Structure 1
């Protein structure tokens, strides 16, 4: 279930660091967070969809790795991103 292209562009514009930025950790984490939220909603109605649940766990692992990288390299950017996205840490 890919993200809606308009929503994806909006997320990229919100979290980009410079005008052509689409691959910074902040953008990647924000996009993964949007996909995770979308999958969580799907799994609320389709509780036995274990294939999608596995995909959700993979996305959460990817996001966790990117968050660890950002925390290790630039702690201030990490804290700002957590506040913007609304993740607890």
Structure 2
């Protein structure tokens, strides 16, 4: 797989409260963003890979749902993660 265990731990350590904190919304959003960026690069070279395209749309939806949750829960955490990951609404 393109995201190794060490890479996941690094993502969760940077955006979550620790490397074993896989449940935090920020950590999950960061992991989804990493996967979305990887799939986007894949689709630039493989335009007709519709299964990957469907997976990408699904991941974007999941990330959007988490971002909406974070908006309702704590707007400051939402603004911080959007700024740090350079996401746009």
Corresponding residue for 2:60?
60
Counting only pairs closer than 5 Å after superposition, residues 1-89 of structure 1 correspond to structure 2 as: 1-18=1-18, 20-89=20-89
List runs of 5+ in structure 1 lacking aligned partners: none
Between 1:9-18 and 1:40-49, the stretch displaced more is: 9-18
Root-mean-square deviation (Å)? 1.4
| TM-score with structure 1 setting the length | 0.92
Relative contact order (C-alpha < 8 Å, sep 6+): which is higher? Answer: 1
| TM-score with structure 2 setting the length | 0.92
1:8-52, Cα deviation, whole Å (9 max, x unpaired): 111011011256421110000000000000000110110000010
Between 1:8-17 and 1:25-34, the stretch displaced more is: 8-17
Count of residues paired in the alignment: 89
